[in-house]
């Protein structure tokens, strides 16, 4: 059994006929694995993860056939049981680290709060563990940072603190929602390296949400490409990036600037993501796809095994053996 099993997860807002922001997502994640979810803004990456944590508030609605994590059925979990799971076995790091720390409390207080909540540590013991955590996320002068307020930290430092908060109770799965997007380029690599080191040392699974394909190619062993709320292609790396089956994945890769090919103009995908009123009945990419055929417009393609991956496409690319 996988660590995380998601079947047909959907998240909706607004009226019943409104298109879901997450539309029938299936996902498997093994213990200790690094999986990346990529997709443009609004493709449903973060919403899917928030749904997983049970953090979608009304008017948002979550439905799924199956949401299984480490033997827990997340759909059937009561509030109290869910809280015992969150931050302990299932933790999340958010995009903007300075916004994700409570501005009114010192770093030490916030760390000790989690340690008390999930591990029952108090007083000096909690303090000592909090210091260790800051050292583990490689914060210089960790002892003095315990007494710092979030606004006294730089973005990179704050993200390290946020990571320390997330790993405090040794989770089995850490979800990192664009953990480097809000940071300086020079800091981004350090934070990613830290996350990967922690993942390796602790053997925890890491679910990395990103829209940086270069980062994904470097870090993840598998990738899930999302478009307009659906997983359009899922597969192992580097195979999937070498031979993307879905035209959307192919287009994403083509839009990457490459060193050494400076003369080549960047290729974009014409059109825009379908909105509420123009969501196609067939393949969601059909209106923008260069290889679209009649059957694409008629029916939504299911996620099916292709040469290197699973993809939602009737006319996949790169299928011939090299």
Partner 1 sequence: MLSFLARRLGLLIPTFLGVTLLTFALIRLIPGDPVEVMMGERRLDPQMHAEAMQRLGLDRPLHEQYLSYLGQLAQGDLGQSLRTRESVWSEFASLFPATVELAFAALLLAGVLGLLAGTLAALKRGSLLDHGTMGLALTGYSMPIFWWALILIMFFSVELGWTPVSGRLDLLYDVEPVTGFMLIDTLLSEEQGAFLDALRHLILPAIVLGTIPLAVIARMTRSAMLEVLREDYIRAARARGLSPARLVFVHALRNALVPVLTVFGLQIGSLLSGAVLTETLFSWPGIGKWLIEAIGARDYPVVQNGILLIAALVILVSFVVDILYGLANPRIRHRQ
Interacting residues with partner 1 (CB under 8 A): 50, 53, 55, 82-88, 91-92, 94, 96, 99-105, 113-114, 117-118, 149, 151-152, 162, 165-166
Q: Angle, to 10 degrees, between the axis of helix 155-167 and the axis of helix 107-119?
A: 10
115 and 168 Cβ atoms separated by less than 8 Å: yes
HSE toward the beta carbon, residue 171, CA cutoff 13 A: 29
> Which is closer to partner 1, CB of 94 or CB of 248?
94
Pairing of strands 22-29, 4-12: antiparallel
**Whole-angstrom distance, CA of residue 157 vs CA of residue 300:** 45
CB nearer partner 1, residue 123 or residue 257: 123
Q: How far is the CB of 104 from partner 1 (least distance, A)?
A: 5
Q: Provide, rounded to whole angstroms, the least separation between the CB of residue 316 and partner 1.
A: 37
First and final C-alpha spacing in the chain: 34
- Specify the residue, 176 or 285, whose C-beta has the smaller distance to partner 1: 176
Kindly state the smallest distance separating residue 289's Cβ from partner 1, in Å: 36
What is the nearest approach in angstroms of partner 1 to the Cβ of residue 199? 18
Structural contact between residues 58 and 140, judged by C-beta atoms closer than 8 angstroms: no
Residue with tokens 């690319």: 317
CB of 283 to partner 1, least distance (A): 33
Whose Cβ is closer to partner 1: residue 85's or residue 194's?
Answer: 85
Query: CA-based diameter of the chain, in Å?
Result: 68
Decide whether 56 or 234 has the Cβ nearer to partner 1: 56
Q: Report residue 208 CA to chain centroid gap.
A: 4
Measured from the CB of residue 85, what is the shortest distance to partner 1 in angstroms? 7
Q: Residue 93, SS3?
A: strand
Closest to partner 1 by CB, 46 or 210? 46
CA 48 vs CA 21, 90, 132: distances in Å: 9, 14, 32
């Amino acid at each position: 059994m996988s660590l995380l099993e998601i079947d047909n997860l959907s998240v909706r807002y607004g009226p019943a006929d409104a298109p879901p922001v997450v539309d029938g997502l299936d996902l498997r994640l093994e213990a200790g694995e690094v999986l990346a979810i990529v997709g443009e803004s609004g493709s449903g990456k973060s919403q899917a993860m928030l749904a997983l944590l049970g953090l979608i508030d009304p008017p948002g609605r979550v439905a799924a056939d199956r949401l299984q994590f480490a033997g827990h059925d997340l759909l059937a979990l009561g509030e109290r049981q869910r809280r015992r799971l969150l931050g302990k076995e299932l933790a999340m790091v958010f995009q903007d680290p300075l916004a994700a720390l409570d501005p009114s409390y010192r770093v030490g207080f916030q760390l000790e709060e989690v340690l008390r909540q999930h591990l029952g540590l108090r007083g000096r013991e909690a303090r000592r563990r909090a210091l260790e955590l800051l050292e583990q996320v490689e914060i210089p002068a960790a002892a003095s940072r315990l007494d710092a307020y979030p606004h006294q930290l730089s973005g990179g430092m704050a993200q390290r603190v946020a990571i320390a908060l997330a790993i405090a109770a040794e989770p089995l799965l850490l979800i990192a929602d664009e953990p480097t997007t809000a940071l300086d380029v020079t800091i981004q690599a350090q934070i990613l390296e830290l996350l990967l080191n922690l993942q390796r040392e602790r053997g925890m699974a890491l679910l990395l949400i990103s829209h940086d394909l270069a980062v994904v190619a470097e870090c993840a062993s598998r990738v899930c490409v999302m478009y307009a709320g659906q997983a359009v292609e899922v597969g192992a790396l580097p195979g999937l990036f070498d031979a993307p089956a879905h035209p959307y994945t192919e287009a994403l890769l083509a839009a990457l600037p490459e060193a050494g090919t400076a003369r080549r103009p960047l290729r974009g995908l014409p059109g825009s993501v379908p909105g509420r009123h123009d969501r196609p009945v067939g393949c969601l990419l059909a209106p923008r796809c260069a290889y679209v055929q009649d059957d694409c417009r008629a029916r939504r393609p299911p996620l099916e095994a292709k040469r290197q991956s699973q993809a939602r496409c009737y006319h996949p690319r790169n299928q011939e053996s090299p």
